[in-house]
Amino acid sequence: MHIDWFPLWLSLRVAAISTVLAAGIGLWLAWILANRSFRGKEVLDAAVTLPLVLPPTVLGYYLLVLLGRSSPLGKVYEWLFGGPLVFSWQAAVVAALFHSTPLLVKSARAAFESVDRSYERAARSLGASEARLFWRVTLPLARRSILAAAALAFARSLGDFGVTLMIAGNIPGRTQTAAVAIYDAYESGNTSTALILVLIISAVALGILLVANRLTPNPFGPRQAAP
């Protein structure tokens, strides 16, 4: 039996890239949401969460309008990289990004906010800049929860179907990710291929969840009694 492994590799690559990008954007947004107070903060929070609750087709529609070949952003991308964004594998990264970033922002904000405020106050009173506070104090203290969140974001990126289908399409060997390939294989009666991909994806997701769970408790050495 011949199995095309390309969709699986593509999915892993898309998930990895989107997780790295989501971590960058997500940590930054989460830091702002956790530390600043400004007008429209809750609107920003809601907007960041929106992709989690919108139907994938709605999100895909927006992205097609926003990034399509005739849109300004699409034109800029084409001018920069010499090819259209939509219906390329990079579009699958964008699709994954819109599913993983909200998750990361939510978890990272909670992780930042769970760091005892007195550490941040101490750092500030010791003259630390916000950047130093972030890199040397808050991020290391929240590190395990954030790694757990990144693992979940990776798993989430792996599984996107609807948005990917709408903006990256289903081009075998180019934009067909595992989730799309499973649908495709099943529809075309290729059930054994579908089953193998299903099992692999399930195993990877389960493994990631186990890792994330082990990361979540956060003891620095034995748990301390409150002073």
Partner 1 sequence: MIQARIRKQFPPGPDSAGFSLDLEFQASRGFTVLFGPSGAGKTLTLDSIAGFSRPDEGRILLEDQILFDGAAGVHLPPRLRRCGYVFQNYALFPHMTLRQNLEFAADRIPRLERHRKINEMLEKFHLGEVSGRKPYELSGGQKQRCSIARALIGAPRVLLLDEPTRGLDAPLRADLYSVLRQVREEFGLPVLLVTHDFEECLELGDEMIVMRDGRAVQSGTPRKILEQPANIDVARLLGIFNLLPVEIRSLDPGRNISKLRYDQFDLTGPYFPGRLIGDQVWLCIRPDNLSAVPSNGRPGMNQVPAALLRTVQKPDRVRLEFSNGIAVELEPELVEKYGSVKEWAIEFPQAGLRIL
Binding residues for partner 1, per CB under 8 A?
A: 116, 118-119, 121-129, 132, 136-137, 140-141, 220-222, 224, 226-227
- For the bound state, the minimum distance from the C-beta of residue 98 to partner 1, rounded and expressed in Å, comes to 33
Write out the DSSP string of 38-80. -TTHHHHHHHHHHHHHS-HHHHHHHHHHHHSTTSHHHHHHHHH
User: Among residues 173 and 221, whose Cβ is nearest to partner 1?
Assistant: 221
Q: Which is nearer to partner 1, 24 or 140 (CB)?
A: 140
In sequence order, the 6+-apart residues with CB closer than 8 A to the CB of 120 are 133, 137, 138
Say how far apart CA 17 and CA 152 lie, in whole Å: 14
Residue closer to partner 1 by CB (options 2, 117) is 117
**Closest separation in Å from C-beta 184 to partner 1:** 47
Tell me the closest approach of the beta carbon of residue 120 to partner 1, in angstroms. Answer: 9
- For partner 1, the closer of residues 108 and 182 by Cβ is 108
Give least dist CB 37 to partner 1, A. 12
Distance CA 177, CA 183 (A): 10
Residue closer to partner 1 by CB (options 116, 187) is 116
The amino acid present at 183, given as its one-letter code, is Y
Spell out the residues 6+ positions from residue 203 whose beta carbon is closer than 8 angstroms to its own: none
192 Cβ contact partners less than 8 Å away, ≥ 6 residues apart: 1
| Contact between 145 and 218 (Cβ < 8 Å) | yes
- Paired tokens of 135: 């890199």
